[in-house]
Structure formats: structure tokens, C-alpha cells
Amino acid sequence: MAKKKHDNKRDDQVIPNRLNILFATVILLFTVLIGRLADMQLVNKDYYASKLASASQKVITTSSVRGQIYDAKGQALVENEMKQVASFTRSNTMTALEMRTVAQKLLDYVTVSDVQVSERDKADYYLADPEIYRQVVAALPSDQRYDTDGNNLSESVIYTNAVASLDKNLLQYSDEELKAVELYSQMNGASFFETVNLVTDALSAEQVALIAAHEDQLSGISTTTSWERVILGTTLASIIGTVTSQQAGLPQEDAAEYLAKGYSLNDRVGTAYLEKQYEEVLQGTREKKEINLDRNGNVESIETIQEGSKGNNIKLTIDLAFQNGVNAILKKHFDSELAKGSATYSQGIYAVALEPSTGAVLAMSGYSHDSATNQVAENALGTITNVFVPGSIVKAATITAGWESGVLSGNQVLTDQAIQFAGSNPITSWFTAYGNRSISAVQALEFSSNTYMIQIALNILGQPYVPGMTLAETDQLATSMETLRKVFGEFGLGVETGIDLPVESTGYVPADYTIANYLTNSFGQFDNYTPMQMAQYAATIANGGSRISPHLVEGIYGNSDTGGLGDLIETVQGKELNQVAISDENMAYLKEGFYNVVNGTDSYTTGKAIASGAVVSISAKTGTAETFVTDASGQVLDAVNTNIVAYAPSDNPKIAVAVVLPNLTDLNSATSKTIVTEIINLYHSLYPMN
């Protein structure tokens, strides 16, 4: 009995102890809560006030009209075609069923011809009715509504399962109903408070008036002015690029980058060429509106915090008058070659003109030729994307490689002779048949000596030429090719030119090669280059050795009162990418060689035809690269790439030109030489260079 008393006493003590612990815990929790409230209301009041404000505010951005693109004289190359459209602003309280009803009613006032709806669009339209959606969800298997613990799956997962469960027979709509599906899909893609322009046929004045008169029945619908990008039909159309529609919005591959810059998903952006390169210039200032909500989520006020404005404009370095003239020259001569049959297998004809001192692109013209269909089409982009075997135009770069590597000194004299390796056919210059001749570096350019270049290449390789020698396999081959290509790159050959376009070919520069390839590369018969690279090469020599990036845009301009080309905001300039690493004396030898190619008096002078009819002094380097073509019967025919690089006037160059005319079966064609002269004469007639 005494033991029982003792146990009761212990129980009486345990209960107060538990109550004490409970009270202590409650007091501790209240203390923490009071401390937290003090932190929120006193210490960090501003922080939590801003968090509350941001929770009740939403900032909506709307893009503005895009800037325009003009040629050097201010002629428009692209315009914005303004039109009236129906727009939809989605409120935060609007239901899917309400949107569907509006879409159906809107068809009474607009015409929709372009219907492009997916099966998912049809399903969304079908499930917009909440009663139908409830029934579809109720019919789903339990594992498509609940997880393994019996909790509801997320609404997005349930909705996806509901869409997947639909019988396609339920989604059969008439043509008229599909138009409503199209409109609903566009409206449903808008975020809360976002305004989207609906894609319909162009609205007439009567339709605009009818929509305005019935806006009370068309929740969220209004009319506004929109724009469509129109590329005008000029010879520069192919370099303008494209702009996305509002429905397409940001390209998926660039979306993250654009969003980080403050763009919206449905913003229209440039996707190629000039439109993409100068996107941030052409894109207008976005209008920003702040929407304030009350505690129930209803709109309390809408405030414009940033006015939108039209994008800035860009003006090109290219004068359409000169560009069109160059195109006309190329087309005339290519058509003539086609008529003669010598261009039957040619890929086309291309020309680039640069201002040597600034890198300004004066013309980039071209025509592609489909030998299968004999169709000829404008292709200005081919000047930066298509590559060709250059031929002897590269020889100034090879001589420079000799100087830079220390195997050639100044205007050194070497013997032009047949290069005979053991067990191989001899390699010769075109004039070797007339006998060996001692020539200087300047003459090697004037006469276009292949064997002078091979001897330089052999010396760089560490195997000076000896008649009948055997070429030894050597570890120096890779180093020697790297040396040659590095120097070629100093002139712009085989490297990025730096042109202000988002894509350009760097040429075809194979990683695998033999000693034979290395040697033929020294006179332009291995690596391939673009016409733009060849023009940069000519410009680099013309200006005394500074490689300057070509640029198509002369300046960024604001807008006039009428929305046209306004005042200059910023001048765009080419950048000096590098300086050719030779002395002024050696550069003078290259320029002397180029001058003599056209103006020399020797019987071996290669470019005399260029001087015929020239109104200013021209310096140049010819290039004839041996190629092969296959005719319709499968017979292999000899052909040539006839390339020229040139600049003028010789003593104070204002223009550098590259002309590429590939795969002619007339092996003695002088057409490229005539084209160079005509292009320079045309430029002089528009912009006198004396």
C-alpha cells in the first residue's frame, strides 16, 4: 500500500513538469514570432514593403515599330507597312470559356484565311468549357489524377493527361469553327495583361468601325496599328535578313539571351544578316506599363512608366547606284560567257569593292548559276559564303611569308625554272617554256611565276631546291603550312574578315594535306577563299598593310519628325585587325609588283588588258586557277577560275576590288580583267578619284 502512495506522488510531479515544458515552448514560440514581426515591421520594413508591392504590381512591356535600313544615299531598302489590326489584352480574371466566346463572336467582324491549328490547339479549345473539362478529368484513371500517397497531382499534369485522353473524333471541327480555334489559340497564348495582335486578314475601315462599336461585347478586343516588315526589291535584298512575327516571337535558340536583355517572348527580332547584326539598334524602345492590383487581384490602376519609341535606323556604306551598276556589269559579262558556252559549268560570278582606308563595303555583288537548269539568280550573299580556288592572286602573301620567315630578302632574284622532283612531272610557270629566267620578287608578281613561289615554300620547309631532289617527309611540314597560312591570314585569306554580318565563311582550309598540297598552296592551288576575303587582301596591300574589317553600315541614325532618316547618332567604323609584319620597303615592292602587273612593258606582263580603257591608274594581281568540270556525258573538261584583285588609283587608292569568275572552259578568257576595269571606271564616274 505504501508503494502505491509513492507512485501517485510521482505521477503528480510528472504532470506539472510537462505543463512547465509546454508553457516554456509556447513562450519561446511567441518570443520568436514577436521577434519576427519586429524584424518585418521595424528592422527590414522597406524590404518587405517592396516585396508586398511587387506582389501586387505587374510590369508589361510592348515592343515598338522597328527602325529602317537605307543605302548610302538615304534610299530605303526596307520599310514598315502599317496596317490596322484587331488586338487582344488578356485580363487576369478572364476564363478560358470567356476567351472562347469572344473568339467566336469576333468572327462576325473579321476574316481569317490563314488557319494553322494543331491538334493541341483543338484540344485546348474543346476543354475551355469547364463542365466538359470536369467530365474529362473525372473519367481519368486514378493514377492520372493522384500520386501514390493519394494526393492530387499538379493541375498542369492533370490537364496534360486530360488532353492525351481525348478521342480525336471529339476534335472534328468545321472550317468556320477552325477559324475560331485559330483566334482562341492566339488569345490563349497571351500572358495576363499582355496585349497581342491577332493574325487576321487586313481590316477594312468598316471592320475597324464595327469592332469599335461592339467592344462591350468583345471583352479584351480593340483595334490598333501594327506593322509588317517589307524588304524592297533591290540588289541588296538578300543581305537584309528577316524579322520574326509576333506569333513566332523570340527564336528558341536565342530566347534566353534576349530575355536576359529585357525582351518579351513575343517580341519581333531579326533572325539573319543585317536585321540580326543590328537587332539592338533597330529594335525600338519598349513601352512599359505598371499594373497595380488590389488585395483581391483586381486591377486598381494602370500607369505608363516608359513611353515606347520607334527604333533607330541604319544607313549602309553601299550606294545602290554603284551596286546596281556592278550587278549590271557582272550580269552582262556572265550572260556573254553563257552564250559562248564557256560558263556552262560555272557556279556564277562575284565581285566585292571596298574602301581600302576604312573597310567600307562599296559593293558586294554576285550571281549564282545552276548548271543543271541554267538559271541565273542574284546572290550578293555568295560573296561571303561561297569559296573558290584563288590562283595566283595569293603570290604577294607567299612572298611576304618568305620575308617574315627570313628565307627571302627584299627584292631578291631567283631563277624561274622547271621544278623537277625525282619521279614527278615538272612544275612550271606559264612562261617557263621560253627558258629559264632570273627574276626579282617584283617581277615574280608581274609575270606570275609559280616556281618562284615554290622555291620560297621549299626554303620555308628547310629543303632548298636542287634539280632532281627527292622531297623528304619531315616534321616541318605542319609548321611550314602553319607559317604560310598565318601570313595569308595577315591579309585576310583563310580567316574571318570581321564583316558586320552574323555569319561568314572563313574559306576552305583543309586540316589534312601533303607536301604537294603545301607547295601548290604557295601559288593558290589548294586552300579556297571567299570573294570578300580576296577583296580584304587587295585592300590590305592598297592601304600599306593594315587589315581593316569590312563594314556594311556607315552610321546609326535617329528618326525625323515624319519617322524617316533623322540625325546621325553614331558612326560605324572598320577596326584594324592586324598589321602585315613587313617593312615599308618590302610593302613597296608588293605595290610595285601590283602596279607592273597592269602597267609593265615586258612581254611577260600578265595584266596589260586591265589598263585598256582604264580612266585611272590601276594596280592588280591576276589569278588563274586550274580546275576541272564534268559535262553531261561524264567527260572531264579542263576549266579555270579567272580571279582578279585590284585597287585604284595606284598612288592613292580609293577602291579595292576582287572579281571571281569560276570554272570557265575558255582557258584564255580575259573577261575578269575587263570587268575589273569597268567596275573601277564606274566608281570613278560616280565618285571622281583624281
Nearest to 500 by CA among 549, 540, 455: 549
pLDDT at 282 over 70: yes
pLDDT classification of 509: cutoffs 50, 70, 90: very high
- Whether residue 682 contacts residue 325, with contact meaning beta carbons closer than 8 Å, is answered with yes
620 beta partners:
646
pLDDT classification of 295: cutoffs 50, 70, 90: low
Respond yes or no: is residue 392 known to be catalytic. yes
Q: State the cell numbers at 204.
A: 477594312
Cα of 19 vs its chain's centroid, Å: 75
Residue range 41-48: average pLDDT?
58
pLDDT at 586 over 70: yes
Q: State the cell numbers at 344.
A: 556552262
- Whether residue 364 contacts residue 318, with contact meaning beta carbons closer than 8 Å, is answered with yes
Q: Which helix (H) or strand (E) holds 10?
A: helix 2-38
* pLDDT (0 to 100) of residue 514: 94
Nearest to 243 by CA among 118, 113, 81, 377: 81
pLDDT classification of 54: cutoffs 50, 70, 90: very low
pLDDT tens per residue across span 224-271 = 888 889 999 999 999 999 998 877 888 888 889 988 888 888 788 999
59-127+166-283+294-311, superfamily in CATH? Penicillin-binding protein 2a (Domain 2) (3.90.1310.10)
pLDDT tens per residue across span 333-386 = 999 999 999 999 999 999 999 999 999 999 999 999 999 999 999 999 999 999
Marked catalytic residue, from 392, 449, 522, 669: 392
**57-71, 526-540, 628-642: which has the highest mean pLDDT?**
526-540
The beta-carbon contacts of 129-134 under 8 Å, at least 24 apart in sequence, are 129/97, 129/100, 130/95, 130/96, 130/97, 133/162
pLDDT classification of 43: cutoffs 50, 70, 90: low
β-strands 57-62, 287-293: how paired?
antiparallel
Spatial separation of the C-alpha atoms in residues 498 and 374, rounded to whole Å? 34
Cα atoms in the 13 Å half-sphere on the side-chain side of 369: 21
pLDDT classification of 22: cutoffs 50, 70, 90: confident
Spatial separation of the C-alpha atoms in residues 618 and 678, rounded to whole Å? 11
| Residues with Cβ within 8 Å of residue 368, at least 6 apart in sequence | 347, 348, 376, 377, 379, 382, 386
* pLDDT (0 to 100) of residue 26: 73
* pLDDT (0 to 100) of residue 480: 97
Backbone phi, then psi, for 304, in 5-degree steps? -80, 115
Spatial separation of the C-alpha atoms in residues 212 and 495, rounded to whole Å? 58
Spatial separation of the C-alpha atoms in residues 235 and 327, rounded to whole Å? 8
Better pLDDT: 194 or 185: 185
Nearest to 273 by CA among 246, 242, 232: 242
Cβ count within 10 A of residue 118: 10
* pLDDT (0 to 100) of residue 42: 57
> Which residue bears the cell 629566267?
437
- Whether residue 532 contacts residue 507, with contact meaning beta carbons closer than 8 Å, is answered with no
Report the percentage of the chain scoring pLDDT > 90.
Answer: 71
Answer whether 0.85 is exceeded by the pTM.
Answer: no
* pLDDT (0 to 100) of residue 263: 84
Report the percentage of the chain scoring pLDDT > 70.
Answer: 90
Q: In terms of residues, how long is the chain?
A: 690
> Which residue bears the cell 553601299?
318
Spatial separation of the C-alpha atoms in residues 606 and 28, rounded to whole Å? 100
Q: Which helix (H) or strand (E) holds 487?
A: helix 476-490
- Round the average pLDDT of the chain to a whole number and report it: 90
β-strands 57-62, 553-559: how paired?
unpaired
- The ranges assigned to domains in the chain are 59-127+166-283+294-311, 320-686
Residue range 102-112: average pLDDT?
94
β-strands 69-70, 313-316: how paired?
parallel
Better pLDDT: 335 or 309: 335
Spatial separation of the C-alpha atoms in residues 319 and 238, rounded to whole Å? 16
Q: Which amino acid is at 509?
A: V
Spatial separation of the C-alpha atoms in residues 492 and 501, rounded to whole Å? 16
For the four alpha carbons of 486, 490, 494 and 495, in that order, the dihedral sign comes to positive
Cβ count within 10 A of residue 619: 28
- Whether residue 223 contacts residue 84, with contact meaning beta carbons closer than 8 Å, is answered with yes
> Which residue bears the cell 631578291?
412
- Whether residue 80 contacts residue 198, with contact meaning beta carbons closer than 8 Å, is answered with no
Q: Which amino acid is at 620?
A: A
- Whether residue 645 contacts residue 393, with contact meaning beta carbons closer than 8 Å, is answered with yes
Helix (H, G, I), strand (E, B) or coil at 156: helix
* pLDDT (0 to 100) of residue 247: 76
Spatial separation of the C-alpha atoms in residues 282 and 448, rounded to whole Å? 47
**Whole-angstrom distance between the N-terminal and C-terminal Cα of the chain?**
132
> Which residue bears the cell 544578316?
273
Buried b (16+ CB within 10 A) or exposed e, 345-383: bbbbbbbbbbbbbbbbbbbbbbbbbebeeeebebbbbbb
Residue range 497-514: average pLDDT?
95
pLDDT tens per residue across span 597-628 = 999 999 999 999 999 999 999 999 999 999 99
Q: Give me the CATH code for the 320-686 domain, please.
A: 3.40.710.10
> Which residue bears the cell 546621325?
568
Cis peptide before 510 (omega within 30 of 0): no
* pLDDT (0 to 100) of residue 124: 95
pLDDT at 1 over 50: no
pLDDT tens per residue across span 394-430 = 999 999 999 999 999 999 999 999 999 998 899 999 9
Better pLDDT: 141 or 51: 141
> Which residue bears the cell 576549266?
639
pLDDT tens per residue across span 222-233 = 888 888 899 999
Residue range 102-123: average pLDDT?
93
| Residues with Cβ within 8 Å of residue 515, at least 6 apart in sequence | 461, 471, 473, 477
Residue range 442-448: average pLDDT?
98
* pLDDT (0 to 100) of residue 72: 97
pLDDT at 8 over 80: no
pLDDT at 63 over 80: no
* pLDDT (0 to 100) of residue 544: 97
Better pLDDT: 51 or 678: 678
- Whether residue 412 contacts residue 441, with contact meaning beta carbons closer than 8 Å, is answered with yes
pLDDT at 9 over 80: no
